[in-house]
Amino acid sequence: MAYRFQYVMTRALPAAFLLLLALAPLPASPPAPALTYDELLEHADKAKFQGNAEEALDYAAAAHKLRPDGLAATLKVEQLIQAGMPNHITPATLAALPVSVSDIGGGLGSVASVNAYLPCKTQEPQHDWTFDHETCVYLKTAKATDNELKLFCRVHYTVPGDQRLAERTGSLLAIAHQAWAQKTGAPTANGDTPFNVWLCRGGQSGGEQWRDNLYLYDLDASRSSIEWVREIIHEYSHLAVPAIGGYTDPEYWANGYLGERLIVRWIQRTPGMPGLVEKAWGDFSGAPNFDRLLIAPAITLYKKIGPSKTWVTKRDELGMRYFIGQMLTVDDKYGPRTLAAAFGQLPRFREAKPEDMAAAVAEVLPAPKPGKHSQSARKPAKDPGSATP
């Protein structure tokens, strides 16, 4: 009996007491004290000294939001912005900056133009031209929090009057990127690396891609709205679509022309996306003409010739049109995911040719069902050895 009493007093009761303590709710820790205006500026200076420009801007913007009339915070925010908008930013920080922010629509992200009184002088790398103004396109991250936006591209321009064109161009590029991602389920060829767009008042009318830069020249040249759309998406496709080259005409690389056809038709086929283009860019009513003039002839040529190793190795304008028609036919019959799978099979350590893509398509196509033979399979092929649909 004495032993039992001793056990209860020395072991059981203390154990029960400890269990109750463990289950009892802990007192809430006091919230971290809010930083003062001067402390925020001090943290901004420290972050800048350590090379963390994004954190420096967060602190400076918080100080500016705390005291909008504070000259020190205002100057610090302006200096940081002129040194370059950050690659990552929160909506709260963006709202506190001297930028004009507009929504792209569709939950994609935001377009932010630095106010004209803050020149953001940048020299483009190909011609050494200087640009004074900047619009940044920020997209929501795939991880899905509304607490961070990631830089997609920067659009540079030389006069304040081109701000609206920069915003429209950036928004259209974001929509093209979304069309690719949504339809293919695959990353673009350039990954998530931000790129630059240069709106050039001079130069020969048209566009160009050079490294991770897109150029649009002679902005005042007469273009229809759908031609603007085509040109912008064409240049973006040189970044986004895997490079397939070797042509002599109309240009060496096929990914620009192929990408513009695929992305414009995917925009048309995605519910809500044509309206998104009209909201962000403007007139999209020329899309049927785009189909009639650029998509239908390529498909018609491919259907007329049929699978042909001879034609897929042609390097002139007709050869490119045939190749594009072949890829559009694959898109129609098997869908964008099949095209994306074929792009993933292209050679990585040498230049990909059209015949590489044709072989990759044949490799990823679904196997025919046993016992099922199409009419074309029973007939001899026009071009022996052709393997793609």
Nearest to 176 by CA among 263, 251, 253, 105: 263
Share of the chain above pLDDT 90, in %: 81
73 Cβ contact partners less than 8 Å away, ≥ 6 residues apart: 37, 40, 41, 60, 63, 64, 66, 67
Give dist(CA 162, CA 219) in Å, integer. Answer: 9
State yes or no: pLDDT of 149 exceeds 70: yes
Residues 298/262, Cβ–Cβ less than 8 Å: no
pTM as predicted: 0.87
Of the CA atoms within 13 Å of residue 323, those in its CB half-sphere come to 30
Read off the pLDDT of residues 160-211 as tens digits, 9 standing for 90 and up: 999 999 999 999 999 999 999 999 999 999 999 999 999 999 999 899 999 9
pLDDT over threshold 50, residue 31: no
- In tens, the pLDDT along 220-231 reads 999 999 999 999
Res. 36: pLDDT tops 80: yes
Which of the pair, 241 or 369, is modelled with greater confidence? 241
The residue among 15 and 122 whose pLDDT is bigger is: 122
Q: How many whole angstroms separate alpha carbon 86 and alpha carbon 114?
A: 12
Q: What is the per-residue DSSP string for 299-355?
A: HHHHHHH-S-HHHHT--SHHHHHHHHHHHHHHHHHH-HHHHHHHHTTS-SSS---HH
pLDDT at 28: 45
Name residue 191's amino acid: G
For the chain, the domains span 35-83
pLDDT recorded at residue 384: 39
What gap in Å lies between CA 135 and CA 125, rounded to an integer? 18
Reading the block at residue 249, the tokens are 């005409």
**Mean pLDDT confidence for 291-299:** 98
Give exposure, 191-208, as e/b (b: 16+ Cβ within 10 Å): eeeebbbbbbeebeeebb
Q: Tokens 């009184």 identify what position? A: 117
For residue range 37-83, list pLDDT tens digits in order.
999 999 999 999 999 999 999 999 999 999 999 999 999 999 999 99
> Which is higher by pLDDT, 388 or 229?
229
Q: Which helix (H) or strand (E) holds 95?
A: helix 91-95
